[in-house]
Structure 1
Amino acid sequence: MPLTERRTAPTYGAILIRGLLAGLVAGLLAGVFAYSLGEPKVDAAIAIEEAAAQAEAPAAGEAGHSHDEEEALVSRDGQKGGLFLATALYGVAMGGLLATAYTVLRRRLRTADDSRAALGLAGAALAGLVLVPFVKYPPNPPAVGDPSTIDQRTIGYLAIVVIGLVAVWAGVLASRSPRSGAPEWLRLLAGLGAFLVVVVVGYVLLPNIDEVPETFPPSLLYNFRITSLGTQVTLWVSLGIAFAALLARLGGRDKPVTPAVEAESVAV
């Protein structure tokens, strides 16, 4: 009968480093996605905004002067270059949070596979932090939005993020509520039902915010939102896969001892 060799459990520092590294890789991949597919939509939206501003300006000379000052302050080339820095820093931050959540919740996850646990946490974060807020408050391009409602939009977005995380938590608890030995489909159905109940209640309670002008091209708005969602999906999918792969190399669980190792231990 094979023995087992107990390895020392990995420390939080080791897990955190792997989470930060996975986040950096995921952030850079998300930056590539956003730069190649998202920036053209941003340029088109900015062009619409500038055209509308020039049309409403009392004098074309004043509009041109104001535009030149804004361009000198933050150029589009500078914004595009800073995109990779922003997504990399965001990825590192999310990687740190994922590593912390993994360390805190690992023993409560009903799976012996570290990679599966990491992917499950990343998927839960994607659902709660990205998908639930996206449906209620989808992102808008630069040409859309009233500056006077920025506080309302910020509070609403933070509220739906909290609701999304609560919905994930409720879904997990509900999936564990059926009696022992219950079929897997019943657990999945209970978890999905609890998740949807919390989300629907949150959607109903929070106000709707729609500031998209009727004159804004619907196709550009749709493409911008899809690429924004794609950037987030790219980040979280990459983060989950990279973190799971790094955890698999880290090890730290019980490992079977081969007969050769067992015989060597007895001889010693």
Structure 2
Amino acid sequence: MPLIGSLKTLLLRGLLAGLIAGLLAATVGYFIGEPQVDAAIAIEEAGSAAHAHAPDAAEGHSHGDDALVSRSGQKAGQFLALGLAGLAFGALFASAVNVARRFTSLSGTQLSLTTAGLAWTAIVAVPFFKYPANPPAVGDPETINERTWLWVAVVVLGLLAVAAAVAAYRALAGMETLRLIAGVAAFVVVTTVGYVLLPGVNEVADDFPATLLWNFRVASLAQTTTLWVSLGLAFAALTEFAARRSTAVVDKVPTAG
């Protein structure tokens, strides 16, 4: 089933799919991620309280009532934030699909799911295994700018690795097994070189609960995976719906007899 529609149509489709994906990701974050955040904040505030009661201690900070936005506001706000992020990702996704359809014979559904899978690999998987997400109470505030730029760098690495894999795969058209091996090898080589060159970051205290850290990272991965899986599936479903509607309209057009 071909990918039907102009760039404008695809962008509208991407915005709708992105909004759906963002809200679903926020739902996962609300029910799975937020309990881990609350537990991490409790540990952070307990440490701050103990430090504040120590002799000559500086005043600690809190995520509680003194915060600019309350925790309930933060929890509800993620639906707005991820909804807007989903819209942005949906527009970028539609633009990528619009370009990719000119270089492939994949159907609209296949192209949508493949693009979503490659985007997840580049933007989620590659960064996650180098710099996994950390909960509150983990990380030195003084290094936040450095860690932000390192995250940007590893996202760029993921995009380069996926681009190298796609290029290697397309270069060996007609040799299915060999092109798969070449694509995987190109991805692994680029990712490995990038991982080696980028510095490691480990600011997790030895006494931080390992179970909480693991649960938070799993929840973070589940949330971002939900975003991209939902985006790909929603875009594919909307594409199939548009194609079926177009076919139905054509079938209803009377032919000259």
Query: Where in structure 2 are the equivalents of 1:22-171 lying within 5 Å?
Result: 22-58=17-53, 67=62, 71-111=66-106, 113-171=107-165
8 Å Cα contact 2:21/2:227 also seen in 1: yes
8 Å Cα contact 1:24/1:92 also seen in 2: yes
8 Å Cα contact 1:170/1:194 also seen in 2: yes
After superposition, the CA RMSD in angstroms is: 2.9
Label 1:32 to 1:63 Cα distance change in 2 as closer, same or farther (>3 A): farther
Report which stretch shifted further, 70-79 or 200-209: 70-79
Q: Give the SS at the match of 2:255.
A: helix
Label 1:66 to 1:149 Cα distance change in 2 as closer, same or farther (>3 A): closer
Identity of matched residues, %: 51
CA distance in 1, matches of 2:197, 2:163: 19
Larger radius of gyration: 1
CA distance in 2, matches of 1:251, 1:148: 52
CA distance in 2, matches of 1:243, 1:93: 14
8 Å Cα contact 2:3/2:239 also seen in 1: no
**Partner residue, 1:181:** 174
Per the TM alignment, residue 35 of structure 1 is displaced from its structure 2 partner at its CA by: 0.4
Greater length-normalized contact order (CA 8 Å, ≥ 6 residues apart): 1
TM-score if structure 1 supplies the norm length?
0.87
**Partner residue, 2:225:** 233
TM-superposition CA deviations, 1:101-140 (whole Å, max 9, x none): 11122111232x1111111111110000000000000000
Unaligned runs of 5+ in 1: 1-6
TM-score if structure 2 supplies the norm length?
0.90
Per the TM alignment, residue 156 of structure 1 is displaced from its structure 2 partner at its CA by: 0.7
TM-superposition CA deviations, 1:192-229 (whole Å, max 9, x none): 00001000000000000100000100000000000000
Which one of the candidate residues 7, 14, 19 is aligned to 1:12?
7
8 Å Cα contact 1:27/1:88 also seen in 2: yes
Per the TM alignment, residue 72 of structure 1 is displaced from its structure 2 partner at its CA by: 4.8
Query: What is the total number of aligned residue pairs between the two structures?
Result: 255
Unaligned runs of 5+ in 2: none
1:28 counterpart letter in structure 2: L
